[in-house]
Structure 1
Amino acid sequence: MDTNKLKALSYDELRALYRNFLHSQDISKLTIDTAYSDTFYLWRKGSKELFWNTVMDTGFENVAKNELIKALSENSTGNVKSLASSYLSHLRRFRLFLASDGTADLTAPKQEKTARPTHIRKKKVSVIVPDPSSDQVELYLKKWDGLENYRLQEDALNKLFFELCPKNKDITDILLKASTLNNFYSTNIFSIYPVAKHICALDIDARLKAGDVTLVGDIQYVTIGETLKNFYSFATKYCSHHNPIDYPIYDSYVDEVLRYFRKRDGFSDFQDVDLKDYAKFKNILIEFRAFYGLEKHKLKQIDQYVWQLGKEYFPKNYGKKKEKTIGG
């Protein structure tokens, strides 16, 4: 989204545009109605400038929480901390709107999905990938173990994340981990300090341990300068290297393979955009594992298997940007 154009809109114009965006998301009507009002609380009770300065601040989490508590303390008789948490969640969703690419149809509500048919006929595809099976997973896990550079990089990351810097309280620890991930995975984050500062402000350790999938969304959106960046793949990697059991890694190879098998075998009826919603992405991987009878394998192993399939059968052109240099 062009933030400067959005800033020029009036209160009613911006809310109308945002409401259309909300309808394009897979959320309830009640949530849409609440977000339509609560997202703009700071604008109503403060000013347009206060609202925009807050949502665009590089220290969004702390700044937004403080401004909301201040405004609610002056204007509400309810539980201020509870209300602030609720309003903060709406502001996070608004930042997702700011980070969207603007290609979605924001002029009409999203249509209901039709029921998935009980039997889905396989569709012809140009690339022939072997049927997923436990034997195939084991084959590719052995290949993974034979990839010395990937395996040793993974060992180095495990030592860093699990032994040397397991916590996320000290920004120097976070900087070390984020910089190493950025280097090993070639995620092309050119200014890593704002990312580390953002992660530090989130106080993520308890959520990481609990496997809170919403944490990926909180990490992925970072304001650098006056631009809201979306580091989705990096956020999944950062969480995964703290808790690989609960956080599979998203990247373009995995995306390609999941869409391939959806088209070929109909293992799921997800939309392409669902792969960029982390909770949905994780559920899609779980569906994939169940559909092909791979339940004995952990999601980490499924991730390594699927990534290698993508790298082998859907290789990237070297002239184009690569998202990942080691598997998840």
Structure 2
Amino acid sequence: MGLPALTLQYAQSRIAQFDGDDRYFGADKAVGLVFSAWPLNTKLEEVIVKVVVLDRLYSTRILSPWPVAERIVELTIDTRLVAGDHSLVHDIANTRTGGKSRYLLSFASKYCAWHRPDQFQIFDSLVEDLLWRYRREHRYDDFRRYELRTYSRFLKAIDRFRLHFGLESLTRKQLDKFLWIEAKQMQAQPQSK
């Protein structure tokens, strides 16, 4: 299949590429500014701003941000964020918008990760594909692809990936950057069945 060899040096070069691109790093700075301005999640008017900015700049495709913001406030998440409670991702993801239940895993993981980048890893469909490709070629884990949509299993796969390829010295935030930019590059490459 020909996946690139993953080393710490290679990962660091990809992180530098992410940080050197204003489309990505500029968006990160803007989102960081909003989340640092309003670190708590008790006021709907502050949460809605974070939801909209995160959705727009990270393309999470929330159809209606208002119910998502209401859900976050309703869950009183701040204590759980501080504790690094990973079940919070599921609770935020399980939201009703437009009269329908939607599971907003990508958004929920990003929302939590922006509050606690040391505790939460970002789920993204591109990263899901990258993990799957590497699992098939390198057998670093035994998950089934659909299992990655369960946040606790996703984290386990990430941690095994990190260990297998010697990336333990990267922070979760650095790993997010590496995985995303690497997955974006791989998106253009066809996957053999």
TM-score by length of structure 2 reads 0.94
Distance in 1 of aligned mates of 2:20 and 2:125 = 23
Write out the 4+ residue segments of structure 1 that deviate beyond 4 Å after TM superposition: none
2:94 is aligned with 1:221: yes
Percent identity between matched residues is 32
Hey, what does 2:177 align to over in structure 1? Answer: 304
Hey, what does 2:157 align to over in structure 1? Answer: 284
Hey, what does 2:74 align to over in structure 1? Answer: 201
Superposed, 1:40-189 pairs within 5 Å as 125=1, 128-162=2-36, 164-189=37-62
Distance in 2 of aligned mates of 1:267 and 1:166 = 36
Distance in 1 of aligned mates of 2:172 and 2:42 = 28
Corresponding letter in the other structure for 1:292: F
| SS across alignment from 2:102 | strand
Distance in 2 of aligned mates of 1:153 and 1:224 = 25
Corresponding letter in the other structure for 2:7: S
Hey, what does 2:188 align to over in structure 1? Answer: 315
Gaps of 5+ in 2: none
8 Å contact 1:285–1:299 — kept in the other structure? Answer: no
Gaps of 5+ in 1: 1-124, 317-328
Superimposed CA distance per residue, residues 152-207 of structure 1 (whole angstroms, 9 cap, x where no aligned partner):
11111111112x11100000010000011111122221211111001100000011
Distance in 2 of aligned mates of 1:181 and 1:315 = 25
8 Å contact 1:286–1:299 — kept in the other structure? Answer: no
Structure with bigger gyration radius: 1
Q: Which has the higher contact order (CA 8 A, sep 6+)?
A: 2
| 1:289 Cα deviation from its structure 2 partner | 0.7
8 Å contact 2:141–2:160 — kept in the other structure? Answer: yes
Corresponding letter in the other structure for 1:139: S
Aligned CA-pair RMSD: 1.5
TM-score by length of structure 1 reads 0.56
Report how many residues are paired.
Answer: 190
8 Å contact 1:134–1:294 — kept in the other structure? Answer: yes
